[in-house]
Each structure stands twice: as C-alpha cells, then as structure tokens.
Amino acid sequence: MSTSEPPVSGSTGTLGTVDIVVLVVYFVLVLAVGIWSMWRTKRSTVDGYFLAGKNMTWWPVGASLFASNIGSGHFIGLAGSGAAAGIGAIAYEWNGMLMVLLLGWLFLPIYVASGVTTMPEYLQKRFGGRRTQLLIAVLSLFIYIFTKISVDMYAGAVFIQLALKWNIYLAVVMLLSITALYTVAGGLAAVIYTDAVQTAIMLVGALTLMGFSFAEVGGWNALMEGYTNAIPSIRVPNSTCGIPRDDAFHIFRDPVNSDLPWPGVIIGMTIPSLWYWCSDQVIVQRSLAAKTLTHAKGGSLLAAYLKFLPFFAVMLPGMISRILYTDEVACADPELCKQICGNTVGCSDIAYAKLVMELLPGGLRGLMMAVMIAALMSSLTSIFNSSSTIFTMDLWKSFRSHASEWELMIVGRVFVLVLVVVSVLWIPVVQASQGGQLFIYIQSISTYLQPPVSIIFLTGCFWKRTNEKGAFWGLIIGLVVGCIRMILDFIYPAPLCFEDDDRPAVLKNVHYLYFSMLLSFITLVVVVVVSLATQKPKPEQISRLTWFTRLDPVETKDQVFTVEGSIENFEVTDERREQNSNGKACHHRKGSASDASSVRSQSKWLSALYWLCGMERRKKGDDNKPATPPAPEQSTCSLEEKPRLRLIVNVNLIICLAATAFIIGYWA
C-alpha cells in the first residue's frame, strides 16, 4: 500500500492555520532552547560534549530520562495495546518505575565510583580485555539503529501522514535535520535541556487530550462499562476476533493461556527492563551527567513519578478510542482493516491519532502534533547522542588509542550525521511494513537480546567472582540462544485470531516472557560455571567496580598513579582556570601574532561551523589542548552526599515505592 494514502479513513481533515502556527512556535522554542544550552556547557571537551560537563541538576536529568523513554512509539503502541487488549501492557511502564529507582540507588553508585563514560567502558574496566566491551558496543548500536529508530519513525510517520498529508521522506528528513542540528552542535547538554522542554509539552498535550477523551466518553464508569461492549459490527464468524478480553482491566493474568502471564510479568519482564533502565547507555548517560549522586537520585525519582502518567494520559485514552470508534479502531475483519489502515492484522495502532483528529479543536490539534514530534525528537536525540558516545569512546578509541580530544569531538559529531543518513535509508523498510508485524517483532527482538546483557551487568556489579571468560561466554551463548528464538519468530509469525496455531511447540507453548526467564537462567549458569572454573579477577578489576567495593581506596600501582596524577592535575587545572579567567588573552597571544593572518584568512563559514560545533581549540588557538586531564577523578567519582539532601531523596524513595506498590496491587 502506498504511504501517500492516509492511514485512517474518515478523518476530519488536516491541520488548520492555527495548528500550523502552534507547530512553528514549538519548533522555534525547541531551537531557542537548543541554542541557549550551547552557552551552558564547554562543548569542546569529551566530558562537556558527551556528559554535559557532569553539571546537571536533578530536574533536567529526570525530565530527560522520561523524555528519552517516552518516544512517539509509546503514544502509538501503548494506546494501541490498550485499545486491543486492555491495561496489561502498562506493566512495562510500572516495572520501569522500579527499575529507574534501582538505577539511582544500586547501579549508579558503582558507575560513578568507576569513573566511566560508557557502559561498554565499564565492562572493559570490570573484566579486562576488549572483546566483551566491543561486543556490547556493537550490539547496542544494532539495537538502537534497527529497533528504536525504526519504531519511533514509524509511529511519528502515522501522525505526520494523518495530519499533514506530507510525503514521508520530506517529513522525516525535516525532523531529522532539526534533531541532528542541536544534537551535533550542543551535545548532551542540548539534548537534556530540550528534553526537559519536550517533557513539559508532552505532559500538557497528553493530559489535555485525556480530559477531552473522558468528557466525550462520559467519565470513568462509562469507560469501564463501554470497553467490554466495544465489539465491532463486522467480525469473522465463530472466532474471538474483535471481542474485548475478560481480563482487560487486570495486569496479572492467567499464567498459561493469557497474552501476558503474571509470572512472566514479574520476572521475565523485569530482566530486559533491567538492561534498559540500569545498563543502557541512553538512560545511564543522563544520570552520569548529574553534578552529584544525590542529583542523579533525584532525577531517577522524578522520572519514576512521571511514569505514573502514561497509564492515565495514553493507555486509557486508547481504550476510550476503541469505545468511540469501535468499527475502525477495533476492526476484526482483515479485508476491512486493510481498507481502514492498510494493515490486515488490525488497526489498534491508529487509536491515539484518531482521538487527536476527531476530538480536538483547532490549535489543540497543532499542540498534539507538537507532542508527537516532541516524543519522536526527544527519543531520537537521545539515541543519536548515546550511539555517538559508544561509537567514539568504545569503538573508535579501541582502534585509535592515542586519538586527540579534537579528533574524538569530530568523530562524535560526524557519527550523528551518519546515523541520520542510516535513519533515512531505513524508511523504506518501515514504509513497506506499515508498522504492523514489524512493530510487534521489534518488541521481541529486545526480549531476546537484552536478558543476556542484563545478567552480565548484574553479575559484574554484584558478584566479585565474575571474570572476563564467564561474562564473555555467558553473553555469547545467551545471544545465540536468543537469536535462534528470534529467527523462529520471524519464520513462523503468530497466527491471526481466526487461524489455527501450527507453529513449533517452542513458540506455541513457551511465551516470550517465559523464554526471557529461561534465557536469563541459561546465561547465569554459564557465567557462574565458567567463572568458577577459571582464574579469579585481578584486584584492579574489582576495586571501585562492584557494589561491595565501590568505596575502596585505589590500591594498585596504575590506579594510585592515576589518582595522584589527577590530584596534581586538579591543582594545575585550578591554577589554569584562574589564569584563563583573568589572563586568557595573554596565554593565547603566543601563537596569535604569528598566526593572525591565517586566522583572518580563514573563511567565515568555516569559523561559523567551528563555533556551532563548539570546537574552540581551532577557533581560538591551542589553549584547550588536552595536555592535562580536563577534570579530576576525585571530584567526578565522589559518592559523598549531603546528609539533609540524602534524607530527602530517601524519604521520597519510600513514598514512591509505596505508591507504586499500591497502584500495581490495585490493578493486579
């Protein structure tokens, strides 16, 4: 089906003039925040570009964690899941609330103490060698490029086609261009501050639509009653197609015959979630940018509190959409579904877009369009920045160990542009699939690839005996087993509701969440057996790299040298900072007299490009040349917290956990 056709039939036209004005204001605001954030951080250093100078406070960190997680795929997929099968899928969100708190209180102190920039770098320090680090780096880039980017771009395309009737290439290229502009120019600081703005826009828009939805359906009781009766008029006879689930308002469902069995929700869902929230570069990088451990914990708390909202602001409106537009959103006849949304599997993915275009008046439609673009851009910028960090710090530095800071900055920015090109080239795949089976399969890709990685980080952080051989072979065997199941899923897709299930028993009888549990167990056994059968890790692979040793003084010669060197450099750096603040021009003029003519002859556009990218070393001379380490390990690796602030975040932790337990128990 050509993507020039609108995904939804019978929609009420495109955006009006007021909506376009709202969109323009939104883009201007985002660009303004992106440009403003460039002045907030020194962008010509590795820490400045990739970790925002490690100077972020709790609220932008928390907002960025939430915005990075809530992509346009959430609005389409979560609302669609609510329309199709009830509230079960919200378990992913509420599970994430617990995991992001684990990140702040258990995993982050280890990462901070280790002084790492990327997660593969942590594995290299913890286990030694390069192969585990490189394997995780390549796997992470694969997951980012071929799952997250494609899901979010598909979901954004649904809205763009529906509201603007634009050519998909024009729309995505424009969005990616704006996204790449402030990602390349501003680094993580620009991404985090624009994420904070995107979060505010998403919350305002989503809560507004929620209000209109509940007003239209007639309130909470009407939702509870209407959903069970939202059966399409045209169905396949003698089948369950189109009939709402009996357990639609329960999270914990039958352990054998349901779509989300409760043991799988508790354990099988938690393990991949542990990878995403506690060891994925996209998430952890934001927390590492916090100025102190307390601010990082505060960011985790804010993200956890915000994770309560998707249930009310996204999933329930999706269920309301089924009630209001039953024959379209809940269509159960393959031929009719093909006419409505171009997808024979079903049209629940249009639930949220349908609400926006049918319910909202002019102006608010533009706001919701901005919400979807904000969700798309915030998740893409996070992926671009984190992928750039992994590629530069783990892959490039592995082959160019003596690369200068200038070179690393150039490589990091160029790789973002490469990702943009790959994203555009990936559009035909998304386009051909229309997001139907691809969207489903992408969720399973994560389920089959993430558990082995989770186990490696879990054992590395909390079991001192884990060594490199155990971690590597556990990872390899786990990924091989996961890939076999993933390939079988592609070969034997799940049958439609009116078809017989003739898939192999391993697919038909073993739910993917149960398989996640089995895969985790296999990986754990391999890690434990191989680690115990081989030599113990060296002391330098343990000190300050596990939960039990995070407070260790550095004992080995290399590390003593590093810390002492950092202290000496800290004094030198402080002196130079004072010199630079008072007499930067003097320090600078040694070379300027001889190079004045070459600086003046440098083309204006090249100078502007250097400024845009924050490449001050080329623009102003060599005073920023990284002759000494830019920051002391002592200050950036400190786990110290002010007692009063620590008490505040710990009390909030208890409140948040209690609220999470209540809401899960209420809907269980």
Asked if residue 429 is part of any domain, the answer here is yes
113: domain CATH number is 1.20.1730.10
Please say if the pLDDT value at position 429 is more than 70: no
Q: Which domain holds residue 285?
A: 17-550+643-667
What's the number of domains the chain is made of? 1
- pLDDT tens track for 507-560: 888 888 899 999 999 999 999 999 999 999 999 999 999 999 999 885 544 444
Q: Are 355 and 321 in contact (CB under 8 A)?
A: yes
Asked if residue 357 is part of any domain, the answer here is yes
Average pLDDT, the chain: 79
Q: Are 452 and 475 in contact (CB under 8 A)?
A: yes
Asked if residue 576 is part of any domain, the answer here is no
Asked if residue 597 is part of any domain, the answer here is no
Asked if residue 288 is part of any domain, the answer here is yes
Q: What is the mean pLDDT of residues 646-657?
A: 95
* Nearest-10 Cα torsion for 335, 341, 347, 349: 160
* Percent of residues, the chain, with pLDDT higher than 70: 77
- Is pTM, for the whole model, over 0.85? no
Asked if residue 252 is part of any domain, the answer here is yes
The residue behind tokens 């090249």 is 606
Highest mean pLDDT among 85-94, 232-241, 442-451: 85-94
Identify the three-state secondary structure at position 250: coil
Q: Are 281 and 118 in contact (CB under 8 A)?
A: yes
Asked if residue 557 is part of any domain, the answer here is no
Please say if the pLDDT value at position 625 is more than 70: no
Asked if residue 536 is part of any domain, the answer here is yes
Window from 195-199, 409-413, 548-552, 595-599 with minimum mean pLDDT? 595-599
Give Cα 82 to chain centroid, integer Å: 22
Please say if the pLDDT value at position 83 is more than 70: yes
Give Cα 31 to chain centroid, integer Å: 21
Per-residue DSSP letter, 325: T
